[in-house]
Structure formats: structure tokens, C-alpha cells
Structure 1
Amino acid sequence: MREPSAGPRPHHVCVLAFDGVRLLDVAAPLEVFATASRYTGGRYTVRVCTPDGQDITTSTGLRIAADLPAADAGGADTLVVPGHAERVTFAGRPDLVELVARLAGGAGRVAAVCTGAFALAAAGLLRGRRATTHWEHAAKLARLHPDITVTADAIYVQDGPVLTSAGVTAGIDVCLALVEQDHGPDIARRVARDLVVFLQRPGGQSQFSAASRAPATSHPVLRPLLDAIAADPAGDHRLAVLAERAAVSSRHLTRLFTRQLGTTPAAYVESLRLEAARMYLEQGSGVTEAAGRSGLGSDETLRRVFARHLGTTPSAYAARFRTTRVEAEPAVRAQA
């Protein structure tokens, strides 16, 4: 890939679109760069390219018209690669992977939205790099491409001229970051205010996923313990108590958890308690009540667990997820 160009000429952004693409993966980057162009006197040109220059049908059924065929889209300053709604890994679509590789070869930088990271990975663009993707598919990306260091909780990751981002709306985050690199934080902040989004979103992806999605297991020793922990997260689930309940040694139980679930008993219990605390906060409980009912015990423990796993505070989490209602603001009277 060549270096990003400098100078007064417009920065050319090309968003690749194809049949089955997620609509918001395409729309979000278009909106960010088009808005930034208004605030910078037309410093961005934003175009949609499709494999053959024909209209494509998105995952929602909405059709998008192409500005140009991919064959004419070489030399973009920024190439944006969205995800496929159905073929998440781009398996069976070598044509798209080859197209991404060819377009990226002439681009100054490349940004993937959501599962577009799989197309970049298949094209060899993430080899030896750090990357992220939608939380639900991060483990799959790491498994299919062990030469990539997958950061599962990140909203976006930049490694050199290649950027990857989390699910769907994270396309806004990664494109805002690119605008900030090009024109500074003031312009990026103006774009964020225009779109009514965070300039830098608090927390990571895990606040939007189910924290306790441990792999399922039917192991005769573990299954009853997991069910008991899920039924009563606040119960006494110390390692010695769990081992006694399962009639095995603490060391053997720890080995079983590690082998079957990829975690320790204490970490598993904490994840279930965190999930319970989140539920209580979403239902309107205060921080102290959520800490007590979930088994985390104290406000301070709850804050530490939230900071470690979610990168935010319990009160900030509750404010963001408990309701979508906007509190009424005092009326502003016109000055006479």
C-alpha cells in the first residue's frame, strides 16, 4: 500500500458495496465523510464502488446505486470494506476477497467495518497485525487466522495503515478517528456533534454483548455447578465450596474449568455476577443494591469489576442502558 497522499486536493474515499452487504456498514462511513466534507470545504470526495458498477442489494433489501465499478476505483486515499450480513467470513466469495486485495494495493489506508475484517484477513492484509471485529465473531477471526492478534473488546484498532472496527455502528467510530487524523480533533468533534454520537465512545464492545457467553459444556461434573451458579449468582461459590459440592479436589476442578471453559472458577463466577449486576442496573436498581443482589458485595467491588470488564462505571452504564427516554429540559423563553 502506498502512503496516504498529502496536499490540498480532495481526499478520495471509496466504500466497497456488494450484494448482501450490511446497509449501515456502508451508510455510516458515507455519512461521516460527507459530513466532514461539509465542514472542511469539500476536502473529501466519497464514492461507492461495486464489483461490476451495477446497483447492489443490501441486507435490508434496499438497493444502492454505484458511482463507479471497482475496476475504476484504484488509487483511493481511503478504502472502506464493510461486512457481509450472511457470509460473515466471506467463505465462498473469493471474488470479493481478490477485489479487496487489489483495491487495497492501491489505497493509502484501508478500514474494515464489522466483519469486513474477515475480507481483509482473507486478503492477507491483517497478517502479523492487531485487529478487531464484531464481538460475536472475534473468536472465529482468531481461530481462522492465527497470524492475527485479535483484540475482541476494542471498538476499533489501527495497526499501521489498516484499521478494523467492531459491529455495525462502530463504522462511525473508526471513520471519526480517520477524520481526526486528517483534520484534527475540532473537525472530528463537529462531525460527532452533527451526528449526535460520541467522539470517543466510553467502554468497549463487551458492554453490548452478553458477558457470560462461556462455551456450553455437558461435562457431568461441571454442568450441575454451572446451572447452580446461574440460578443464584450471589450464592457461596468459593472454589472450596464448589469443589466440595462436585466431590472433586479444588485443583482438579480448576483444571476442568480451564479445559472445558477456558477460564477459572473465580473468573466464571465473577462473569455471572457481572451479568446479574448489569441486569439489576438495567431494571432500575441503584449501584449498592445491584452490588449486593449480584453477589459482588460492595460498591467498590462493583466499580472495579465494571472498569476491568466493561471500561465504564456502573452509574454510567445504568444511565446509558436503563432507558431510552430523554429527560425533559426546562423551556427556553425567547428574549423580548
Structure 2
Amino acid sequence: MKKAIGLLLFPGFQIVDLAAVTVFEVANAMPGGPYYELSMLSEHGGPVASSAGVTVATLPFGAPGFDTVMVAGSMEAIRSTPGFIAFLREASQASRRTASICTGAFFLGEAGLLEGRRVTTHWAQARELQRLHPKAKVDEDRIFIQHDHVWSSAGMTACIDLALALVEADYGAELARAVARKMVVYHRRTGGQSQFSALLELEPKSDRIQTALTYAKRHLRKALSVDELAEAANLSRRQFSRAFRLETGQSPAKAVETLRVEAARNMIEEGNHAIDVVAREVGFDDPERMRRAFIRAYGVPPQAVKRAARAAA
């Protein structure tokens, strides 16, 4: 039996959020499908314009009969109408689960769905969401979060990770992986993964430096000397060191440490690995060296990150 999904849209919604619909569309084309019945809804029905000016045909709100009701987000957090919030509240009560994309979490807050729950949104709007809804626990550094029947995601492309997680929860990891492959995306990032990426923060300007960083990220267990990274970039050691610092503002050694710390934090938050095992897997010589790197990066040792992850779980 197909699961009905209703996506609630409003004038000015962010069109990239429709990528979540594509996840369900692709799932429907997989063997054994279709798995989902999709509906685009708005308060009054008819064409609804996104913030980019592209319009989407919608059905008007009616009797809520969905397995999952989802709320799109917008470039900036906006307040909704009483009719929109009333329907969201009613639909959430009648549905198995409720999900928000990006700033759609603000609508969940208006509907009273966030009190006592963990939630995430786009990192740039997280503190405002917490201010407006102090009884919620807003985690600004997560890709998506599930708390009870309420799911929420970070901004922009995080809606794909959220939708893949919903598919996995419904029909298993194999189908979710098949959908990810079909969409040519990395199999969904885990919910606990940071919204921020060390590779994005370094912002290399050239393909050669990007290639070296990608090589480093894939081979963190190795020593990763400057000569090895220069070879990956197809540059001389001198050319590589000069170009690397010019493009990233860091030395190669510092950048590799940043990648290792990020990988270690993900391992600690996503699993029950011993600290010394994590240190070995991401290329630190010993746990003490990793501890010092964590304090430089986050101001706390890895044990504190592990305790926080356990408390959140």
C-alpha cells in the first residue's frame, strides 16, 4: 500500500526543497514500487510561486489523510497565516509523522509541535528559532533530527538527506541506497553529521588543490606528507605548498588536521567507538594528539563530545 505524502507549500518557498519530492519520485520507479503517493498542497490551491519565481501547481488544503506531512522552507524565516498553521496542526495530529525542511521548522513551532523536542533548521536561522521557541532544543549543527514523530532538516540540499532517511525508515536501507545512486548523490549523510564541512570551509580555488584535499580525506589513516599531497595534485612540493597556503590560508599540515578532527568527531557522534580506535582510524598518532587537536578546534576534548552524543541519543 502506497504511503501518502503531503508537501505544504506557500508563496516564497525555496524551490530546492522540491528535491525531497524527487527522492520519493525515484523510489516509486524502483522495483516493487510505486511506494508513495505525492500531493503538493497550499492554503488556497492553484499555482504557488517560489522565491525564484517558478510556480508549482497545488491542491487546496482538505481533509488531512496523509502518512507523512512535510513543510517546505524559505530563504528567510517568515510567519505563516492562521489557516496554514491550523491545517498543519490538524494534519500533524492525523499523520504518522511530520517533517520540516529548513525554515519550515518555524511553522512547526507556530503550530506548537516543537515544545520539548529536539529540532534543527538552517544554521543561519537556528538561534532565532531557539529564541522564539525556548522550550524546544534547537541543534544548529545537524543535517536532520528525528524526535518522536517529528522530523526536521537543515537547509537547502539537506532535504535530500531527510527524504532518503524517511525512505530508509519506511522500506529499508537497500531501497534508500538505490535511490541515492539513481540520483547521483552520496548515500545520505547521517542525521548527526555536521552541517559544516571542512572541505567547504577551506574553499580551494583550483582543481589541483581540491584534488589533494579530496585525496587526503580519503586516506586519513596514512601519514600524508607534503610530498604525497603534492604528487596527488601533480605539482612540485614548492609549487604545492605555495599554492595551498595561498588558496586555503592554511598549511597542508593544518588542513589535514582539520579533516582528521572532523572525521573523528563524526565517528564519535555516530558510533560507540573507543577514543583510541577513533584516533587510529583517522590518522592521529595517539589519543593525546587527537585530544589536543579537538581542544584547538572545538574547545573541548573528544570525551566531552562523546558524552554529549550519548546524552543527545
TM-score of the pair, normalised by structure 1: 0.62
**1:143 corresponds to which residue?**
131
Q: 1:159 to 1:209 in 2, by over 3 A?
A: farther
Q: Out of 18, 30, 35, which is 2:21 matched to?
A: 30
Trace 1:92-171 onto structure 2 (pairs within 5 A). 93-171=81-159
- 2:70 aligns to what SS in structure 1? strand
**1:306 corresponds to which residue?**
262
**2:40 corresponds to which residue?**
48
In 1, the alpha carbon distance for the partners of 2:189 and 2:253 equals 28
CA RMSD of aligned residues (A): 3.1
- The answer on 1:80 being equivalent to 2:78 is no
Q: Which amino acid aligns with 2:107?
A: A
Could you list the per-position Cα deviations for residues 27-52 of structure 1 after superposition, in whole angstroms to 9, with x for gaps in the alignment? 21221111111213222111111112
In 2, the alpha carbon distance for the partners of 1:146 and 1:113 equals 20
Q: Which amino acid aligns with 1:14?
A: G
Q: 1:282 to 1:177 in 2, by over 3 A?
A: farther
- 1:206 aligns to what SS in structure 2? coil
TM-score of the pair, normalised by structure 2: 0.66
User: Residues 28 and 172 of structure 1 are in contact (CA less than 8 Å); yes or no, is this contact kept in structure 2?
Assistant: yes
- 2:23 aligns to what SS in structure 1? helix
Q: 1:165 to 1:42 in 2, by over 3 A?
A: same
Trace 1:156-305 onto structure 2 (pairs within 5 A). 156-201=144-189, 203-207=193-197, 278-279=202-203, 284-285=208-209, 288=226, 289=241, 294=250, 301-305=257-261
- Give 1:279 shift: 4.2
Q: Which amino acid aligns with 2:26?
A: T
In 2, the alpha carbon distance for the partners of 1:159 and 1:111 equals 10
In 2, the alpha carbon distance for the partners of 1:45 and 1:30 equals 10
**2:299 corresponds to which residue?**
none
User: Residues 206 and 309 of structure 1 are in contact (CA less than 8 Å); yes or no, is this contact kept in structure 2?
Assistant: no
- Give 1:207 shift: 1.9
- Give 1:300 shift: 6.4
Q: 1:75 to 1:303 in 2, by over 3 A?
A: same
Could you list the per-position Cα deviations for residues 298-329 of structure 1 after superposition, in whole angstroms to 9, with x for gaps in the alignment? 57643444346788989xxxxxxxxxxxxxxx
In 1, the alpha carbon distance for the partners of 2:264 and 2:120 equals 19
Q: 1:280 to 1:193 in 2, by over 3 A?
A: closer
Aligned length: 235
In 2, the alpha carbon distance for the partners of 1:114 and 1:76 equals 21
- 2:5 aligns to what SS in structure 1? strand
User: Residues 296 and 302 of structure 1 are in contact (CA less than 8 Å); yes or no, is this contact kept in structure 2?
Assistant: no
Could you list the per-position Cα deviations for residues 234-273 of structure 1 after superposition, in whole angstroms to 9, with x for gaps in the alignment? xxxxxxxxxxxxxxxxxxxxxxxxxxxxxxxxxxxxxxxx
In 2, the alpha carbon distance for the partners of 1:157 and 1:182 equals 16
Could you list the per-position Cα deviations for residues 277-296 of structure 1 after superposition, in whole angstroms to 9, with x for gaps in the alignment? x1468785557556996379
Query: Percent of counterpart pairs with the same letter?
Result: 34
Q: 1:148 to 1:283 in 2, by over 3 A?
A: farther
Show structure 2 runs of 5+ residues with no match: 217-225, 227-240, 269-281, 284-313
Q: 1:302 to 1:14 in 2, by over 3 A?
A: closer
Q: 1:300 to 1:170 in 2, by over 3 A?
A: closer
Q: 1:190 to 1:279 in 2, by over 3 A?
A: closer
User: Residues 80 and 107 of structure 2 are in contact (CA less than 8 Å); yes or no, is this contact kept in structure 1?
Assistant: no
User: Residues 129 and 138 of structure 2 are in contact (CA less than 8 Å); yes or no, is this contact kept in structure 1?
Assistant: yes
